[in-house]
Amino acid sequence: MDDMDFPTPDASVESVTASELKARVDAGEAVTLLDSRMQSDYEEWRIDGDTVESINVPYFEFLDEEIDEDVLARIPDDRGVTVLCAKGGASEFVAGALKDRGYEVDHLEEGMNGWARIYEAVEVERYEGSGTLLQYQRPSSGCLGYLVYDDGEAAVIDPLRAFTERYLDDAAELGVDLKYAIDTHVHADHVSGIRELVEKGVEGVVPAASVDRGITYADEMTLAEDGDEFRVGDVTIETVYTPGHTSGMTSYLIDGELLATGDGLFIESVARPDLEEGDEGAEDAARQLYESLQDRVLALPDDTLIGGAHFSDAAVPAEDGTYTAPIGELREKMAALSMEEDEFVELILSDMPPRPANHEEIIATNLGQQETDDDEAFELELGPNNCAASRDSLADD
């Protein structure tokens, strides 16, 4: 809808940046959003929060000079409202139409695309290994990544292509060299930045077990086998093979303190097993996932932190603001981790969410089998990630 030419509003409309809106939400301010995208887009993906009131009225309801009174009645006139759309064009038009009618409004600059460019780094305070560990958070899609640095060196785990320069800039600001860029698996919900970082001189690391899926650039990468170790200053990053979500799914144990589990285990759910082999291969993958969780992940000490590659709206951050939790805590609150194998498999196959949007194109891009420019890559990964099994049935009541 933002490719349309909208009339310039008579009233001057102020804009708010995505970062400013995020700061208001984080501060617990009451925020009222008028989302002017189509209902299907709104229902799939929107901005939420405990103090956020979100109203969906598609932009076309405001195109007529005489706006229907029933439409206006849905929009609060006793407080400020922020209008948003996909890219910022429709929202400015809608906000102007409302301001002409006396409403207190502004609009979200760049719309949901701007929201998708928010990427925050939060220190994992409970990490007690060598060096410092940061968790990158992308609130628009729940993507998580990790940067560990010590003694002039750093490694990033699960980098996003959209933020390639961010990792390099952060390393420079911290006074460290970005030594490694590490992927946990072939992602289905976002485009990896590992090849772009390799082009910048960073050593790329991918699981050796993922090469069989058809990665075209394996000869440009270091292939990580189970048990391999990578050093960043005095930090040891150990490779832990944990298949299930994909056949090549690999976790990385950072200095014995935090297991970066990719899409194998999240703090509120476990992986979905159907994105590589489809429905017909999901049961075998689910059994493989069960074995990985029981024998490789839950076998670690209870105080080992888990940090996945995603978080959902159901995830509750720790006191330090990161989406991390000790294994022992997850074992207590997540019923799926205490089940017998057959019960586990039946549960996670029983209520699978929709597959990530554009997942086939994203996988092909991440395998190097499809060329996708930066703008196309950014558009492909907009929306929810949906890489977990249904969260409603996995936690204890």
Q: How do residues 297-351 score in pLDDT, each as one tens digit?
A: 999 999 999 999 999 888 999 999 999 999 999 999 999 999 999 999 999 998 7
* pLDDT at residue 83 is higher than 80: yes
Of 60, 12, 8, 69, the C-alpha closest to 36 is 60
- Residues that are catalytic: 85
* Lowest mean pLDDT, pick from 136-150, 290-304, 375-389: 375-389
Instruction: Note the pLDDT of residue 5.
Output: 63
Q: Which has more confidence, 93 or 354? A: 93
CATH tag, 120-380: 3.60.15.10
* pLDDT at residue 58 is higher than 60: yes
CATH tag, 15-115: 3.40.250.10
Instruction: Note the pLDDT of residue 65.
Output: 83
Residue type, 54: S
Q: Are 326 and 301 in contact (CB under 8 A)?
A: no
What pLDDT band is residue 10 in, cutting at 50, 70 and 90? Answer: low
Region 165-182 average pLDDT: 98
**Range(s) for CATH 3.40.250.10 in the chain?**
15-115
Region 63-88 average pLDDT: 93
At 251-307, the pLDDT tens digits run 999 999 999 999 999 999 999 999 888 889 999 999 999 999 999 999 999 999 999
* pLDDT at residue 14 is higher than 80: yes
Of 177, 250, 171, the C-alpha closest to 208 is 250
Region 56-83 average pLDDT: 94
Measured between alpha carbons, how far is 372 from 360 in angstroms, rounded to an integer?
Answer: 13
Of 210, 211, 250, 248, the C-alpha closest to 228 is 250
- Would the CA dihedral through 295, 329, 139, 393 be positive or negative? positive
Of 55, 127, 43, 49, the C-alpha closest to 84 is 55
What pLDDT band is residue 242 in, cutting at 50, 70 and 90? Answer: very high
Q: What value, to the nearest 5°, has the Cα angle with vertex 207 and ends 336 and 368?
A: 110
* pLDDT at residue 392 is higher than 50: no
Q: Are 124 and 305 in contact (CB under 8 A)?
A: yes
**Range(s) for CATH 3.60.15.10 in the chain?**
120-380
Model-level pTM?
Answer: 0.93
Measured between alpha carbons, how far is 210 from 78 in angstroms, rounded to an integer?
Answer: 55
Share of the chain above pLDDT 90, in %: 85
Block residue for tokens 């729940």: 142
Q: What is the SS3 assignment for 178?
A: strand
What pLDDT band is residue 397 in, cutting at 50, 70 and 90? Answer: very low
Report which secondary-structure segment, H or E, holds 106.
strand 105-108
Instruction: Note the pLDDT of residue 1.
Output: 41
Measured between alpha carbons, how far is 273 from 286 in angstroms, rounded to an integer?
Answer: 5
Region 177-206 average pLDDT: 97
Block residue for tokens 């995830």: 315
Report which secondary-structure segment, H or E, holds 114.
helix 111-115
Region 123-132 average pLDDT: 98
Q: Are 312 and 388 in contact (CB under 8 A)?
A: yes
Instruction: Note the pLDDT of residue 384.
Output: 75
Instruction: Note the pLDDT of residue 297.
Output: 98
Pairing state between β 177-182 and 153-157: parallel
Length of the chain: 397
Of 177, 191, 138, 134, the C-alpha closest to 157 is 134
pLDDT, averaged across the chain: 93
Region 123-144 average pLDDT: 97
Instruction: Note the pLDDT of residue 393.
Output: 44
Instruction: Note the pLDDT of residue 98.
Output: 95
Region 108-125 average pLDDT: 97
